[in-house]
């Protein structure tokens, strides 16, 4: 019950007029960002971070987190009304959401999506509330070697469990790690890999990279296919909203299963995108006979949305308790934490309880606020997409560049955004995953310094990573995640080949 008291303390922090205003502003900004192409959650949060430098950390994190929830809701709105996923994690929602909206039931589709998203988020936050103290206490036993093992585990999990090709994931990870070493070395204080370029002395900011990769890169990808927004009517009928809410208990098993998927994928570095796809797939496999999936089946909306939001909220748990974010947006927020002078990880719970529990309490409130706000404002935000792209596109571009400039007041960052915009576009087309790159950039220096410290402690022997049960088992799990999925694939490949040969 200790957590309950702490949570009440958190509510006291979060329920001030100032913080509630910030939540509303955050959710609304998030909705804009989620609805507009080219502005996703990771890069929206990146754009907002420079504006929070002067705020106190609790208010800042409440604003950023609320924006994240808003972006998740906004992403589903465009998926359903326009068949355009505003966020990668809402791609699965288009499969059944858009057909249902097209058949004249857009209110039902939207309500199903928002309500199940709200429930998913709620379940995720309950999990965080229950587990966070325990996780942080567990993590207090971690030394440098254990930390390195956890970072290594996060990297391996991306390679082994990610949806992209393992080789390409490894490319993204190592590119991110390499970029993180540019500039001042935190351990020895020497300048590295600056090649005499003055602009590189302070390093490559991950915020600038995120804005380029996710902002400009995604816009270029949108432009390439030409823009045809064929939206369906976005009027919300209050009677339909209530009717749909009464319908929800019917999908109880779907919701429970999807939340479980979301929680698992959120805590491990699978992330919301993988969670929503997996949950959609499971719903299709386990569904009772009825209309086909892909034609507007309610479970096809409920499943991905619940998983998406429970994964999105659960991604905050490893970030807060261990300092290991499991999604791109959580990685950006964690970078923000470090900029505000906070060290994510178990010590945060003892040194900054107001911050941690204020954030957790705000997650309850802002997700509730989010569901209501999104139902009220959907017609307005849907109208944003009816603005011609030749007007809204350049505005998004301008905001991206302005945001990148405000990170460090440096015009050389504008060139970096341009370069990483093109990189993001090419990576997108060639299916290199972007999230591992961001994660590696944020974790790079921490991974390096924990490696450095463990090496000093062990006099340069890698044996330290297997020196006790804790670090040894984390390392073993990490290596297993790296090797087992690949070898399974290889065996399957060999088998199928043999069969072909036998048939021939």
Partner 1 sequence: MRIKRLHVEIVTAITLAAVGALGATGALELGVSWSESGPMPGYFPFYVGIILIVAAFASAAQAIFRLKMGSEEMRETFLEPEQTRRVLSFLLPMIVFVIVTVFLGTYIGTALYLFYVAWRNGGYKPWIAILIGVVFSIALYFVFEKAFQVPLHKGPIEEMLGIY
- Helix or strand holding residue 184 (H, E): strand 183-184
Nearest to 79 by CA among 327, 330, 381: 381
Q: Which is nearer to partner 1, 306 or 428 (CB)?
A: 428
- Helix or strand holding residue 425 (H, E): helix 412-430
Nearest to 136 by CA among 322, 324, 363: 322
Q: How far is the CB of 281 from partner 1 (least distance, A)?
A: 22
Q: Which is nearer to partner 1, 197 or 372 (CB)?
A: 197
Confirm or reject binding of residue 26 to partner 1 (CB under 8 A): no
User: What CA–CA distance (Å, rounded) separates 123 from 186?
Assistant: 39
DSSP 322-364: HS--SSHHHHHHHHHHHHTT---STHHHHH-HHHHHHHHHHHH
DSSP 300-333: HHHHHHHHHHHHHHHTHHHHHHHS--SSHHHHHH
Q: Which is nearer to partner 1, 248 or 408 (CB)?
A: 408
Q: How far is the CB of 173 from partner 1 (least distance, A)?
A: 8
- Which of the ranges 101-109, 285-293, 303-311, 415-423 carries the binding residues for partner 1, by CB under 8 A? 415-423
Among 9, 131, 165, 202, binds partner 1 (CB under 8 A): 165
What six digits make up the tokens of 304? Answer: 């991905």
Among 174, 202, 287, 352, binds partner 1 (CB under 8 A): 174
Among 15, 130, 201, 456, binds partner 1 (CB under 8 A): 456
Q: How far is the CB of 366 from partner 1 (least distance, A)?
A: 21
Q: Within positions 176 to 235, which residues make up the interface with partner 1, using CB under 8 A?
A: 177-178, 181, 185, 187-188, 190, 192-193, 195, 216, 219-220, 223-226
What six digits make up the tokens of 93? Answer: 């929602």
Residues ≥6 apart with Cβ < 8 Å to 425: 216, 217, 220, 221, 224
User: What CA–CA distance (Å, rounded) separates 246 from 241?
Assistant: 9
Q: How far is the CB of 54 from partner 1 (least distance, A)?
A: 7
Tokens 């659960």 sit at which residue?
314
Q: What is the dihedral of CA 130, 131, 137, 138, to 10 degrees?
A: 150
**Which x/- pattern over 29-68 shows residues binding partner 1 (rule: CB under 8 A)?**
---------------------xx--x--------------
Q: Which is nearer to partner 1, 220 or 282 (CB)?
A: 220
Under 8 Å between Cβ of 317 and 131: yes
Q: Which is nearer to partner 1, 215 or 266 (CB)?
A: 215
Q: Which is nearer to partner 1, 161 or 400 (CB)?
A: 400
Q: Which is nearer to partner 1, 241 or 392 (CB)?
A: 392
Chain centroid, CA 426 distance in Å: 21
What six digits make up the tokens of 354? Answer: 């107001």
Q: Within positions 375 to 394, which residues make up the interface with partner 1, using CB under 8 A?
A: 388, 390-391, 393-394
Write out the residues near partner 1 by the rule CB under 8 A: 50-51, 54, 165, 167-168, 170-171, 174-175, 177-178, 181, 185, 187-188, 190, 192-193, 195, 216, 219-220, 223-226, 388, 390-391, 393-395, 397-398, 401-402, 405-406, 409, 411, 414-415, 418, 421-422, 425-426, 429-430, 448, 451-452, 455-456, 460
């Amino acid at each position: 019950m200790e957590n309950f008291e702490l949570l009440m303390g958190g509510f006291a922090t979060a329920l001030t007029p100032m913080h509630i205003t910030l939540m509303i502003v955050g959710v609304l900004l998030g909705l804009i960002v989620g609805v507009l192409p080219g502005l996703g959650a990771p890069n929206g949060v990146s754009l907002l971070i420079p504006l929070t430098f002067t705020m106190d950390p609790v208010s800042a994190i409440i604003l950023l987190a609320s924006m994240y929830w808003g972006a998740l809701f906004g992403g589903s709105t465009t998926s359903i009304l326009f068949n355009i996923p505003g966020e990668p994690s809402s791609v699965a929602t288009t499969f059944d959401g858009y057909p249902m909206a097209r058949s004249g039931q857009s209110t039902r589709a939207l309500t199903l999506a928002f309500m199940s998203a709200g429930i998913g988020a709620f379940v995720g936050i309950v999990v965080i509330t229950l587990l966070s103290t325990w996780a942080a206490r567990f993590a207090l036993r971690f030394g440098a070697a254990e930390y390195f093992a956890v970072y290594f585990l996060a990297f391996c999990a991306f390679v082994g469990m990610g949806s992209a090709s393992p080789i390409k994931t490894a490319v993204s990870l190592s590119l991110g790690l390499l970029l993180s070493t540019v500039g001042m070395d935190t351990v020895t204080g020497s300048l590295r890999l600056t090649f005499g370029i003055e602009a590189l002395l302070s390093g490559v900011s991950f915020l600038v990279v995120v804005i380029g990769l996710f902002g400009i890169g995604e816009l270029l990808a949108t432009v390439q296919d030409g823009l045809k927004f064929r939206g369906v009517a976005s009027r919300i009928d209050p009677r339909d909203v209530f009717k749909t809410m009464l319908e929800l208990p019917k999908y109880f098993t779907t919701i429970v299963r999807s939340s479980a998927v979301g929680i698992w994928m959120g805590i491990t570095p699978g992330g919301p995108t993988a969670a929503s796809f997996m949950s959609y797939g499971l719903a299709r496999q386990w569904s009772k006979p009825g209309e086909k999936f892909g034609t507007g089946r309610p479970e096809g909306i409920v499943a991905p949305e619940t998983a998406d939001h429970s994964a999105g909220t659960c991604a905050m748990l490893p970030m807060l308790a261990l300092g290991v974010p499991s999604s791109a947006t959580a990685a950006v927020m964690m970078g923000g934490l470090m900029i505000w002078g906070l060290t994510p990880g178990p010590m945060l719970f003892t040194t900054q309880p107001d911050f941690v529990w204020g954030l957790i309490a705000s997650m309850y409130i802002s997700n509730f606020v989010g569901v209501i706000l999104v139902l009220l404002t959907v017609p307005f935000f849907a109208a944003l997409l009816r603005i011609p792209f030749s007007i809204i596109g350049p505005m998004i571009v301008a905001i991206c560049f302005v945001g990148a400039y405000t990170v460090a007041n440096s015009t050389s960052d504008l060139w970096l955004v341009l370069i990483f915009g093109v990189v993001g576009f090419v990576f997108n087309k060639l299916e290199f995953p972007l999230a591992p790159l961001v994660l590696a950039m944020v974790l790079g220096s921490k991974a390096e310094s924990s490696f450095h410290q463990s090496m000093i402690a062990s006099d340069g022997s890698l044996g330290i990573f297997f020196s006790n049960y804790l670090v040894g088992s984390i390392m073993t799990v990490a290596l297993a995640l790296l090797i087992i999925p690949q070898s399974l694939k290889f065996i399957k490949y060999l088998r199928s080949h043999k069969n072909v040969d036998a048939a021939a």
